[in-house]
Amino acid sequence: MLLDVDHLDVHYGRAKALHDINLWVGEGELVCLVGRNGAGKTTLLKTIGGFLKPSKGSILFRETKIDGWPPEKVALKGIRYVFQDKRVFGELTVRDHIELAAFPTEEKIDRAIERLIGIHPKMEKLLNSKAKGLSGGERQILLIGRALIGNPQLLLIDEPTEGLAAIIISEIAHILSEMKSKISMIVVEQNLSIVASLADRIYVLKEGAIFREIADKALIKQPTLYESDL
Amino acid sequence: MLKKFEKHDMLILAVIAVGFLIFGLSTTLSKITDFIIFCIFVLGFDLYYGHMGRLSFGHMLYLGAGAYGAGLSAKYLSPDPFMAIAFGLLGGALVGAILGPLLIRTSGACFALLNLAFNEVGYFLVLVPLAGITGGEDGISLNFSSYGFVNFSNLKFLFPFSLSVLLLVAFLMLKFVHSSYGILLKAIKENEVRVQFLGYNTYIFKWITFVFSTAISGLAGALTVINYGYANPSFIDPTRNVEVIFAALMGGAGNVFGAVLGGTAFMTISNYLARYIIRWEMFLGIVLLIIAFRFRKGIWGYLREI
């Protein structure tokens, strides 16, 4: 098992945001988190990523306890976070983004650039463009490509298709499916047709708790059967 | 790590050198040396303000630490001017290194005001509790050794020396901001949390940058003491922080050449306008309003666009 979240509670001040979360991710598995706004999906990702400290429970990554670690330590351990808001460093070029991500992982910059171009060849032309000029889709591809630098073992991707045009959504879905067997992922996604096409397992979150786990492949392919759980 | 150093930056540095030399011919060397030293201070200040996005209201503390570091070493240890410069630089760096771990954890108004608070404490220490060694309100007068033509009391030596130091600091800062480290600073300025998620311990990088900034300010303080031949509390006076802030904003924060241009513009206004307009500070305020509303990138930012 790659990641094991055990009886996790998280508070925002005095308000309890996550209740007794139990979740696991296997090697090369793509796990989707679904649920309504405010269900706790992003809070869970942020806690695994080191942005929030749990008030109870533990997070084991390759059998190492990582709960309470700062984000930079979690990142260097091999867990990368792709945020929901697709915010890039606007004043930096695409190449600068790659260089910035490559340095702490000690990956060679040329190799890191190859990795980005490998998931989306059109990025080669944009290497010297400032990131603030990129479209929403290009930003998302840059952020996913940047997260792959340094051979991480787990990606936490928060709503990768939110606010994107349909054609870009299918491109992002294609990129994620290509990555699927090479790296483990936890993907928060509202678009159930994408969830159905990508997920190996699904956790449905409701009011800060795991309401249901769906592991049956046939069931996953039919989102109408679990749509009512959201 | 160091790369992308553009050739036209060298050309602009040459223009700055020639500009100061021509300026030096048309005014007193003492004044132009003062301008140059102030520009070094603006460079130090802008490293943390313009490049990291953290505005300090107390950078006079680090200039003062350098001034008193140099002054006290000349008074009590040795009149060697190089030793004074080294003590000035170390003085600024040391105060920055000690206060840094606390200060860099803050940002915005908290960072600005904590710096001001420490500046007030430093000013008070120099004036009262340490008056026995700092000379209190009167300060200390200094004499520096000379070695042949290396005579810091002679402005014909001090002026080109200060200009060389300014060019060296500007050159090193250009190297710095064009390096991977410079990219990191820009990223921290834009979104520190996201940089942490890339695997960086941003506190360490902020601390190192802060110490560089205070060390350059300390160097400016040491040169100020050598130029004036004394160290007094005006070199650590918190009310003078506004000067360096105005200069950085005027020139264009976050740019090496903007800092030099802003430092020169501020010193020109404060030295020459005062001859014609009694309340010249009001003019400075109007200039700042125009910059805030019309030219947010400062003079250099505007020049780059046209």
Cβ neighbours around B86 below 10 Å, total: 16
Taking residues A120-144, what's their average pLDDT? 93
Q: Report yes or no: B183 at the A interface, CB cutoff 8 Å.
A: yes
User: Distance between CA atoms of A222 and A197, rounded to whole angstroms?
Assistant: 10
Please tell me which of the candidates B183, B193, B201 has its beta carbon nearest to residue A92.
B183
User: Would you call B21 helix, strand, or coil by DSSP?
Assistant: helix
- CB count, 10 Å around CB of B26? 7
pLDDT digits (tens, 9 = 90+) for B101-115: 999 999 999 999 999
Q: Is B278 on the interface with A (CB under 8 A)?
A: no
Q: Closest Cα of chain B to A153: distance in Å?
A: 14
Subunit contact B187:A92, Cβ cutoff 8 A = yes
Q: How far is CA A86 from CA A144, A145, B3, in A?
A: 10, 12, 29
Chain A CB within 8 Å of residue B192 CB: no
Cα pseudo-dihedral B109, B110, B113, B118, rounded to 10: -160
Are B247 and B262 a contacting pair, CB within 8 Å? yes
- Collapsed DSSP state (helix, strand, coil) of residue A87: coil
Distance (Å, rounded) from C-alpha A206 to C-alpha A162?
Answer: 20
- CB within 8 Å: A89 and B199: no
Burial grade of A230 (CB within 10 A; 0-12, 13-18, 19 or more): middle
- Beta carbons within 8 Å of B242's beta carbon, 6+ residues apart: none
Q: Which residue of chain B comes nearest to A46, CA vs CA?
A: B197
| Residue B191 forms contact with A (CB below 8 Å) | yes
* Tokens of residue A70, six digits: 């700062």
Beta strands in B138-277 (DSSP E): 140-141, 146-147, 150-151, 230-231
Q: Is B153 helix (H, G, I), strand (E, B) or coil?
A: coil
Please report the pLDDT score of residue A163 as a whole number: 86
CB contact under 8 A, A99 and B200: no
Instruction: Give CA angle at B29 (B148, B164), nearest 5°.
Output: 65
- Using the beta-carbon criterion (under 8 Å), do A99 and B193 form an inter-chain contact? no
Which element (helix H / strand E) includes A61? strand A56-61
- The overall average pLDDT reported for chain A is 93
- The CA distance from B219 to B207, in Å, is 18
Task: Tell me what pLDDT residue B5 has.
Answer: 59
Nearest-CB residue to B196 (from A71, A80, A103): A71
Residues of A in contact with B186 (CB under 8 A): 89, 91-92, 96
Quick count: other Cβ atoms within 10 Å of Cβ B154?
12
What pLDDT is recorded for position B2?
Answer: 41
CA-angle at B80, arms to B78 and B83, nearest 5° = 90
Instruction: Taking residues A49-74, report their average pLDDT.
Output: 95
Mean pLDDT of A189-207: 94
Residue of B197, B202, B205 to mutate, testing the A interface (most A Cβ within 10 Å of its Cβ) = B197
Question: A77: distance to nearest CA of chain B, Å?
Answer: 9
pLDDT value of position A10 = 97
Bridge-based pairing state of the strands A154-158 and A184-188: parallel
Strand partners, A3: A25, A61
Q: What is the pLDDT of residue B296?
A: 83
pLDDT > 80? residue A230: no
**What pLDDT does residue A193 have?**
92
Name chain B contacts of A75, Cβ cutoff 8 Å. Answer: 196-199
Chain segment B140-151, per-residue pLDDT in tens: 999 999 998 899
Tens of pLDDT, residue by residue, chain B (306 residues): 444 557 788 999 999 999 999 988 888 898 999 999 999 999 999 999 999 999 999 999 999 999 999 999 999 999 999 999 999 999 999 999 999 999 999 999 999 999 999 999 999 999 999 999 999 999 999 999 999 889 999 999 999 999 999 999 999 999 998 899 999 999 999 999 999 999 999 999 999 999 999 999 999 999 999 999 999 999 999 999 999 999 999 999 999 999 999 999 999 988 888 888 888 888 888 888 888 888 888 888 888 777
pLDDT for B230: 96
Query: Who's near A220: CB < 8 A, 6+ residues apart?
Result: A195, A196, A199, A200, A201, A202, A214
Phi, psi of A187 (to 5 degrees): -120, 125
Contact across the interface for A87 and B199, Cβ inside 8 Å: no
Q: A46-50, A167-171, B75-79, B213-217: which has the minimum mean pLDDT?
A: A167-171
**Contact indicator for A95, A128 with CB cutoff of 8 Å:** yes
Q: Hey, which residues 112-151 in chain A have their CB within 8 Å of chain B?
A: 146, 150
A81 touches chain B (CB under 8 A): yes
Q: Does B4 touch chain A (CB under 8 A)?
A: no
For residue A148, what is the nearest residue in chain B, using CA coordinates? B198
**Hey, what are A31's tokens?**
């796990």
What does the pLDDT read at residue B231? 96
Chain-chain contact of B183 with A100 (C-beta, under 8 angstroms): yes
Nearest to B199 among A51, A76, A99 (CB): A76
Q: Do A92 and B199 touch (CB under 8 A)?
A: no
| pLDDT at res. B1 | 41
Partner-chain contact A100 B194, CB within 8 Å = no
- Could you give the CA distance from residue A126 to residue A138 in angstroms, rounded to a whole number? 9
Distance of CA B132 to the CA centre of its chain: 28
- Residue of A69, A73, A77, A89 to mutate for B, most B C-beta atoms under 10 A: A89
- Rounded to a whole number of angstroms, the distance from the CA of B7 to the nearest CA of chain A is 18
Structure confidence by residue, pLDDT tens digits, A219-229: 999 888 888 77
Task: Write phi, then psi, for A128 (nearest 5 degrees).
Answer: -100, 10
Taking the CA of residue A201 and the nearest CA in chain B, the distance in Å comes to 26
Q: How many CB atoms lie within 10 A of CB B91?
A: 29
* Residue in B179, B180, B198, B204 to test binding to A, most A beta-carbons within 10 Å: B198
* pLDDT tens digits along A200-209: 999 999 999 9
Rounded alpha-carbon distances, angstroms, from residue B130 to A213, B18, B59, B139: 70, 42, 20, 11
